[in-house]
């Protein structure tokens, strides 16, 4: 181990980021940093501002919690970090170099916990940087992160693995610009209603349910404000359930009993506002009240999806379950799911007997045992 304090592995917790899920990442970090056993691990926190500046943070969990006024943000600073490819060394320098130049050496780290959601964090970009720095990290590698972030690519891989993933169409910025009428005609053949989504976003950002063809254009424009690449999915019947996956020391995926997002009758679908500010309209049902054989299918398919995408560490696989049709269909795969103490992923493992702090320890220990590079 390359650590300043030989008795403790050094953990770099990375949070914030340039995506629309910046504030959710901050809230995740607030929970995770408090839960890590500081007697066993030395924790250093680094925030990424919405503009992409990497800054050392004197972390306060209260500062980054979700509150009634909204989500937090990593503040800009007069110092930023520089990373050394090849040896994982991290230094802090002033943003303006002048006569009072000072260099702060953060040293080397044993493992990185990248608590980043969405593009420029969960999509393989940061994972690739960490690979170049020869730094182990928690979670999926470059390929799985990129494939799971891009919903159309996820669908292709799941269908290739003969796993149920629903019907969809992809709309690129070029297609929309060249032949808007042709795109609309193609989408209408899916059958309405459909869900129009940014292809590479999470936390239900930019999603619209479309029930009449006249609303397709506005929905695509809304999704393209988040991502120029758009996926349009045929509506799935039933209700949403989620299954948490955690890789074991032997490499095999372990799964939880499914949990259900139970929503009030006045909630049209599980959008960003409902997900993070809808305490009065949604609740977690753990375990989900679904027939036993469907729960078994969910767990089996979640493990198969984890392996089909080449996931490592953790993932949450989201499904639609329709007991009337006896059907289970994958909605999406999240390689860095919401990780606050109240999020579905840790709550599912808590139900299985693995508490929040123990979950952090398992993930960090697994990352420390995993080599970087080709594996």
Q: Report domain extents, the chain.
A: 10-139, 148-165+236-335, 168-234
Residue 278's pLDDT band, with cuts at 50, 70 and 90, is very low
Check whether 271 has a pLDDT greater than 80.
no
Mean pLDDT of the chain: 90
Whether 105 shows a pLDDT value over 90: the answer reads: no
Task: Tell me: pLDDT of 87 over 70.
Answer: yes
Residue 277: predicted pLDDT:
43
Which range among 10-14, 78-82, 207-211, 297-301 shows the weakest confidence by mean pLDDT?
78-82
- Residue 103 confidence class, pLDDT cut points 50, 70, 90: low
pLDDT number for residue 48: 96
Mean local confidence (pLDDT), 83-105: 73
> Residue 221: which of 167, 189, 176 has the closest Cα?
176
φ, ψ (nearest 5 deg) of residue 187? -70, -35
Which region among 41-55, 67-81, 337-351 has the lowest average model confidence (pLDDT)? Answer: 67-81
Check: CB of residue 80 under 8 Å from CB of residue 56. no
- Rounded Cα distance between 117 and 31, Å, is 15
In whole angstroms, what is the distance from residue 360 CA to residue 351 CA? 16
Name the CATH superfamily housing domain 168-234: ATP-grasp fold, A domain (3.30.1490.20)
Contact 19, 226 (CB under 8 A): no
Domain 148-165+236-335 in CATH 3.40.30.10? The answer is no
Q: Give the pLDDT band of residue 6 (cuts 50, 70, 90).
A: low
- On the question of pLDDT at 283 being above 90, the answer is no
Q: Are 60 and 45 in contact (CB under 8 A)?
A: no
The fraction of the chain above a pLDDT of 70, given in percent, is 90
Closest by Cα among 118, 282, 281, 269 to 203: 118
pLDDT confidence of residue 79? 83
Q: Are 200 and 149 in contact (CB under 8 A)?
A: yes
Per-residue pLDDT band for 193 (boundaries 50, 70, 90) equals very high
Question: What is the pTM (predicted TM-score) of this model?
Answer: 0.90
* CATH 3.30.70.3040 assigned to 10-139: no
Average pLDDT over residues 160-183: 97
Q: How do 259-263 and 239-247 pair as beta strands?
A: antiparallel
């Amino acid at each position: 181990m390359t650590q300043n304090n030989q008795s403790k592995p050094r953990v770099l917790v990375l949070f914030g980021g340039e995506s629309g899920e910046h504030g959710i990442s901050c809230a995740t970090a607030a929970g995770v940093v408090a839960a890590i056993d500081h007697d066993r691990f030395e924790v250093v926190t680094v925030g990424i501002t919405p503009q992409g500046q990497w800054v050392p943070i004197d972390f306060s969990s209260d500062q980054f919690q979700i509150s009634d006024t909204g989500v937090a943000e990593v503040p800009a600073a007069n110092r930023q970090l520089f990373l050394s490819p090849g040896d994982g060394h991290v230094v802090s320098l002033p943003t303006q170099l002048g006569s009072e130049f000072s260099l702060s050496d953060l040293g080397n780290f044993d493992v990185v916990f990248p608590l980043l959601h969405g593009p420029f964090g969960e999509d393989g970009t940061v994972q690739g940087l960490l690979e170049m720095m020869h730094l182990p990290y928690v979670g999926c590698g470059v390929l799985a992160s990129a494939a799971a972030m891009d919903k159309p690519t996820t669908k292709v891989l799941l269908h290739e693995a003969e796993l149920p993933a629903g019907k969809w169409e992809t709309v690129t910025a070029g297609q929309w610009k060249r032949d808007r009428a042709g795109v609309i005609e193609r989408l209408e053949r899916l059958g309405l209603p459909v869900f129009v989504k940014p292809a590479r976003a999470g936390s239900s950002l930019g999603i619209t349910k479309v029930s009449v063809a006249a609303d397709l254009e506005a929905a695509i424009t809304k999704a393209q404000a988040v991502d120029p690449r758009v996926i349009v999915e045929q509506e799935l019947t039933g209700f949403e359930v989620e299954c948490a996956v955690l890789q074991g020391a032997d490499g095999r995926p372990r799964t939880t009993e499914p949990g259900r997002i139970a929503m009030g009758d006045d909630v049209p679908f599980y959008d960003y506002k409902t997900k993070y500010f809808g305490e009065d309209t949604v609740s977690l049902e753990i375990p989900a009240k679904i027939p036993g054989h469907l729960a078994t299918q969910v767990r089996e398919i979640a493990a198969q999806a984890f392996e089909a995408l080449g996931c490592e560490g953790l993932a949450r696989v989201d499904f639609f379950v329709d007991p009337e049709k006896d059907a289970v269909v994958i909605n999406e795969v999240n390689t860095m799911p919401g990780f606050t103490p109240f999020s579905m992923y840790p709550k599912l493992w808590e139900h299985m007997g693995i508490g929040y702090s123990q979950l952090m320890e398992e993930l960090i220990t697994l990352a420390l045992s995993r080599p970087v590079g080709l594996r």
